Chains A and B, each alone.
Chain A
Amino acid sequence: DIQMTQSPSSLSASVGDRVTITCQTRQDIRKSLNWYRQEAGKAPQLLIHDVSDLEPGVPSRFSGSGSGTDFTFTIISLQPEDVATYYCQQYDALPITFGQGTRLEIK
């Protein structure tokens, strides 16, 4: 299985801050990476596919970058409604695997 290492596991930031989450793998997954957010008690929501392509309706303050083994998810200007847990997911090889998540809170 392809192990996804996400960091940090949690972070606290102020409204307006730039927030960055990283996702690393030990093997090259090319650009086969998606990002999700999950609010408490709800199903995950797809935000970004193929590293950097935003899903329709997702605000432009969200972005993704990277390739190979190192990937980054960024919120340019944190908003109160961004409180959630964020996950990366690889699909380069089965079984599909997820990162362990990053819990984002507002200071």
Chain B
Amino acid sequence: QVRLQQSGPGVVKPSETLSLTCSVSGGSITNYYWAWIRQSPGKGLEWIGHIHHTGSPNYNPSLKSRVTISMDTSKTHFSLRLTPVTAADSAVYFCARDRAVWGDDAFDMWGQGTTVTVSS
């Protein structure tokens, strides 16, 4: 059974960097894309971007200048980096498995979510 476990700080100061990691266990990381999605009361669910194990990420244009999604060389986890952050980046952040390789771009496995608050 594939499991996604998120880790990272819950509070980030304005203008600093939000960094989250999603560890994948129980299954192969090579046959899927891996995504970051966030959810805030004001904007609902927002796709941030995704990455394939070949290393070619796609980003939401609204965040592209500030976001980096990477995958570690051992391919057991992937990460999100967003900088600089503002209060508008306060949200619940989810990592998810994305079936884009199989054609339906559906998010069929999710991490537990991390509530990130941008505050000084």
Residues of A participating in the B interface, judged by any CB pair closer than 8 Å: 1, 32, 34, 36, 42-46, 49-50, 55, 87, 89, 91, 94-101
Contacts and interface: CB of A to CB of B under 8 A. Distances in A.
A65 B25 CA distance: 34
Interface in B91-115: 94, 96, 99-100, 104-108, 110-113
Given A44-B45, A100-B44, A91 B106 contact: yes
Given A43-B94, A98-B44, A98-B45, A49 B60 contact: no
Interface of B: 44-47, 58-62, 94, 96, 99-100, 104-108, 110-113
A91 B37 CA distance: 14
B45 A49 contact: no
Nearest to A91: B105
Nearest to A45: B110
B98 to A, nearest CB: 9
Contacts of A43: 94, 96, 110-113
B112 to A, nearest CB: 7
